[in-house]
Amino acid sequence: MIELFVEPQDDLVEVQKKLAEAQDSSIRVYIPADSALARVASLKLLLREGERLGKKLSFESSDPAVATMIASLPRSAPETTGATFSMNEDVATSQKIPLGNPGMQKKASSKKPISASFKNFVESKGTVFIVGFLLLILVGLGIVFGLFKHFQHATITLVLKEESVNKSFDVSASSSVTAIDYTLQKIPAKILEVTESGSASVNATGKSFVGDKATGNVNIFNKTDSEISLPKGTKITRIGTNSTDYVFYLNDAVKIAKQTTTVSETPGGASNEVVYGKATIGVTAAELGNEYNLKKGEKFTVSDYNANELAGENDGDLTGGSKHEAVTITQADINSATDAAKTNLTEKVQQALAATAETDGSKINPETVILTVLQSVPNQKVNDEANDVTVTMQMRARSFSYTEQDLKDLVKKLLEANVSDKLSFTDETKMSVEGARIENEELKFIVKVSDNVVSKVNEDEIKKIVAGRRVNVVTGYLNTLKIIESYKLVITPKLPQGLASFPSDVSKISIEIEKKNE
């Protein structure tokens, strides 16, 4: 008799083909619980097919419902049970033997009649003692064998075939939820905020003339009959004897009274005396340099007026003008110091924000940190004479934080909802977060996740099927399970060659799942 294990996906045509290829006239067919053939009509058709092929079929199943169905079938002859196989070891590994292989179809040994010579020997005088002695040995061996079976234990170690699963999910972290929302794919979040201060300095790169502008007072004379007002910044120019003009500007606005005429009687007759209107105003040179230091008595013209209308003259020296070349601050220097301060402070404030998140076991995405410069103050101005410039800055960092565990729990549920319930994960989930951004006071991002899945194993069904079976029968059964990558069988204690079989008690059979490449 050979044993044929039907796979769940085998249909009637596939099983009929296997029956035709079988090299024995007596076949035991194992029907799994979820087989498409677990129907009375299908089993009857197989019995008829067996009769047509001249083969005797019997059915067996570990499922109670299928077993009841099998018991209701008509049987033309008593079911043959068991099978004998040659065994070299009681430890088998997963060298799979396909169904229909002659190695899985060895016939059960038939009993041979006791020879006449042996009968004569037994019946002869003096053999009673020998027979009794032999029976005693057999009983002893039976006891020993029974003890072996009582303490026997079998372990099946399975390595399951893995399949890679890659998914992407849109996830939000929001301060408006306090627990994971699996429907909206949201996890709880907190808003964290820290403020830090820092500074940075850079060397000055500018070169320019620096110094002071000459200053002093100038008298402005009004030679007209009307009062004249001059605004602040009005330009006056020294009337020089050379081609160089020295420009000064009024420090303040000024009003200059009109000229007046006084008539006086003299022995020679009446005479008119004209007195110009006069105002004294402070002025500053247009440029740096000691060449603007002028002695008193210099003459000046007033912008937009001719000499017959307004005229100027200093009645004291104009002094304080100076100029020399020096290292000065440029706008580029201030910008560089500002950038350096911002770079240093960005790293500092992000570290402080991350440390705040770590205190409660949460996490932030650096891409979503909002940085705000609250203050940026340089200690020098453009064109100031200085060797360096320092910018002092204050910066605020604000972001959402969430716990890694909440994200893992959400992703696990989402993965489970996207795969068959006949599969389970290997807990080797790899996640990466991309496209993080803040929208409507929520942190939104894409989670890319990958994991491996394996088919769920019905350990109870496997134990029922292999209980009491010879090792090579068990290997034949395991070879039919396409969800298995490899396996290892270990039975302890070891039994003599040819007697190794699995315990009949399923409680003494263990099934262990081992990860691939472990």
For residue 303, what pLDDT is reported? 94
For tokens 């989670």, the residue is: 447
Structure tokens at 384: 């100031």
Whose tokens are 């090792």? That residue is 471
Listed in sequence order, the residues at least 6 apart from 230 whose beta carbon sits closer than 8 Å to its beta carbon are: 220, 250, 253, 254, 255, 256, 281, 302
pLDDT of the residue at 127: 62
| 120-175 pLDDT tens trace | 544 555 566 676 777 778 776 667 556 566 677 889 999 888 878 888 999 999 98
Report the distance separating Cα 87 and Cα 65, nearest Å.
Answer: 33
Structure tokens at 444: 């939104």
Pick from 399, 489, 466, 477: nearest CA to 156: 489
pLDDT computed for residue 475 by the predictor: 85
pLDDT digits (tens, 9 = 90+) for 353-367: 888 888 877 878 777
> For residue 85, what pLDDT is reported?
29
Please name the amino acid found at residue 259: Q
Residue 142: its pLDDT value, please?
A: 64
Q: Say if CB 364 and CB 400 are below 8 A apart.
A: yes
Q: What residue spans define the domains of the chain?
A: 2-111+458-506, 159-204+329-455, 210-327
What integer pLDDT is reported at residue 109 of this predicted model? 39
Contact indicator for 230, 254 with CB cutoff of 8 Å: yes
Model confidence pTM above 0.75: no
In the chain, which residues have pLDDT < 70? Answer: 75-129, 131, 140-142, 144-150, 241-243, 269-270, 421-422, 426-427, 495-499, 517-518
Contacts (Cβ under 8 Å, ≥6 apart) of 185: 169, 170, 171, 172, 410, 414
Q: Which residues contact 248 (CB under 8 A, 6 or more apart)?
A: 214, 218, 235, 236, 237, 238, 283, 284, 285, 286, 292, 300, 318
Is the CATH number 2.40.30 carried by domain 210-327? Answer: yes
Q: Which helix (H) or strand (E) holds 60?
A: strand 56-60
CA dist 153 and 214 (Å) reads 111
Q: 3-state class of 404 per DSSP?
A: helix
pLDDT score at 40? 81
